[in-house]
Amino acid sequence: MTMPDSAPSNFIQDLITEDIKTGKYEGRVHTRFPPEPNGYLHIGHAKSICLNFGIAKKFTGLCNLRFDDTNPTKEEVEYVESIREDVRWMGFDWEDRMYFASDYFEQMYQYAVQLIKAGKAYVCDLTADEIRQYRGTLTAPGKESLYRNRSVEESLNLFERMRAGEFPDGSRTLRARIDMSSGNINMRDPVMYRILHAEHHRTGTKWCIYPMYDYAHCISDSIEGITHSICTLEFEDHRPLYDWFLDQLDIYHPRQIEFARLNLSYTIMSKRKFIQLVDGGHVRGWDDPRMPTISGLRRRGYTPEAIRNLCERIGVAKRDSVVDMALLEYCIREDLNKKARRVMAVLKPLKVVIINYPEGTTEELDAINNPEDPGMGMRKVPFSRVLYIEREDFREAPPKQFFRLAPGREVRLRYAYYITCVNVVKDTDGEITELHCTYDPATRGGDSPDGRKVKATLHWVSAAQAVEAEVRLYDYLFLNPDPEEVEEGKDFRFGINPNSLETLTTCKLEPALADATPGERYQFERTGYFCVDTDSSMEKPVFNRIVTLKDTWAKIEKGRKEERS
């Protein structure tokens, strides 16, 4: 795994460096990645993963994987499995340090008893509704619960019986006794434990009371000897509570540091909305290649290297920000440019007959597998009288700056010959069905001995040997860079891109692709990077377009279209 030392520093590293200098935590650095196993990880989590594991590595410290599983009604083993897989795939190793907050339930219970004894916590019989009313508002202080001053003995007794299962869900809570008039609502006697007669994916039915995040998280960090507990901005005003519990308990006290979560243009990053996309049939599942989930990106063909690189490039700060999707695309192109084998594939085929090429003849031409890496070698590509080229590569009436094939024009077929279009064949509807071209035998391999130049080089596939395939072209899931920005009264689904998936079923691939296996990535020359989908089979290969190549001509055309409208 590479995490170059050139990785730019950030304010968190600065704080840690300072802590090391002053001898806080004896110079140790120990972080954790603490997902709740209630859904699949997305690229926003990737930022946190890279940050936490990256910092540990940079300071030769450790990073734990810890599941924050304090809410049995939402959490499932299925998610812990997928999270483990995703973190591992991202290239990080927690070694033997995979923990669960639920591992610490007994200790948390004991600490809670301790807080009750110290008069710092009490059992409250208010209903959820009453608690809400008593909490006050953003501008008005709260009211103290009438149970706030009940005796330590009574609270102790009640808390014990809560654990024993004597009370129904929601009937009582354990609350911290802090300050109902605090400007910080989190400090208005927050709930520490609630009664939940629910089966937990790890502890089964052992518990019917479960700790709340604020109480569980700081204690988990403390138990694991975490030095720097890195979380997102919305927890900033929970920090006083984090500190309060640890101070009251007088136990080892990590430092919480908050950073801005990742947002990406043209996509969303919320579990709730992912579910709406999946349930609404807008995507095919959590691992749909259009989803910003790690599993979606993986299926799409993104590499861990590219995602890690993105995380490094975007930096870490406290300001809310939206990273341009173009940067993610840059990262995957950069990675795949070095690694992906080049191959020819015609997505939207147009038949070409080389009328002066002998019938029934096939020859093998040499092609380079990766011009960026000569070590990847060469391959043979069959050439014959009938070929396919890309429909887009021919224009009967070529516009200005269109260099590709047109009537009477000569272009190069990559690694093959120069050809000239001599005739356009159409059907009764006027649709072009095939092209007749002549080739120049002297240009075999793609160079002309007389030194004449052509302005375009086209990719092509020999018809007789072509492999048929399905190719899925993806576009952004949303039309607007900010999916939240929709018409008054409409929700984010109104902005879904209806054309985020285009399925092509008649694609022609060069025979080298016949035995491509799921997960393999290729560059289809001139069109983009593609990855063999998990739906793929020998009978019917399926490819996902990971990202297009930069396309100057497409940009020119797009510019013209916009000028006209």
Partner RNA sequence: UGGGGAGUCGUCCAACGGCAGGACGGCAGACUCUGGAUCUGCUUAUAGGGGUUCGAAUCCUCUCUCCCCAGCCA
Least Cβ distance, residue 138 to RNA (angstroms) = 4
The sheet with strand 345-346 has its strands ordered as: 341-343, 521-524, 528-532, 542-548, 467-474, 501-509, 345-346
Closer Cβ to RNA, 175 or 385, answer by number: 175
CB 404 within 8 A of CB 456: yes
Amino acid type, 55 = I
Answer yes or no whether residue 166 interacts with RNA by CB under 7 A: no
Q: How many CB atoms neighbour CB 2 within 10 A?
A: 10
Give SS3 for 374.
Answer: helix
Stretch that binds RNA, among 113-121, 123-131, 284-292, 466-474 (CB under 7 A): 123-131
170, 280, 358, 519: which one binds RNA (CB under 7 A): 170
Least distance (Å) between residue 71 CB and RNA: 4
Is 215 buried (19+), middle (13-18) or exposed (0-12) by CB count in 10 A?
buried
Q: Is residue 135 at the binding interface for RNA, with CB under 7 A as the rule?
A: yes
Shortest spacing between CB 544 and RNA, in angstroms: 18
- Whole-angstrom distance, CA of residue 372 vs CA of residue 537: 30
**Contact, 462 vs 383, CB < 8 A?**
yes
Residues 237-256 touching RNA, rule: CB under 7 A, are: 237-238
Looking at beta carbons only, is 128 or 425 nearer to RNA?
128
User: Is residue 330 a contact point for RNA (CB under 7 A)?
Assistant: yes
Q: What is the largest CA-CA distance in the chain?
A: 102
Q: Does 236 bind RNA (CB under 7 A)?
A: yes
Question: Choosing from 58, 143, 202, 261, which is the catalytic residue?
Answer: 261
Choose among 253, 233, 228: nearest CA to 243: 253
Residues 527-556 binding RNA (CB under 7 A) are 549-553, 555-556
Catalytic residue, candidates 271, 339, 351, 391: 271
Number of residues that bind RNA (CB under 7 A): 94
Q: Which of 32, 36, 188, 258 is catalytic?
A: 36
Site residues for RNA, 26-85, by CB under 7 A, read: 34, 36, 68, 70-71, 74
> Does residue 233 interact with RNA by CB under 7 A?
yes
CB of 53 vs RNA, minimal distance in Å? 18
Give the whole-angstrom CA distance, residue 90 versus residue 83: 10
Q: Is the Cβ–Cβ distance between 30 and 226 less than 8 Å?
A: yes
Instruction: Give the one residue of 1, 15, 118, 317 binding RNA; rule: CB under 7 A.
Output: 317
Is residue 371 close enough to count as binding RNA by CB under 7 A? yes
As measured in angstroms, the least distance from the Cβ of 167 to RNA is 10
How far apart CA 250 and CA 114 sit, in angstroms, is 11
**Dihedral of CA 519/323/81/256: which sign?**
positive
Question: Considering the complex, what minimum distance in angstroms separates the CB of residue 452 from RNA?
Answer: 12
Q: Which are the catalytic amino acids?
A: 36, 261, 271
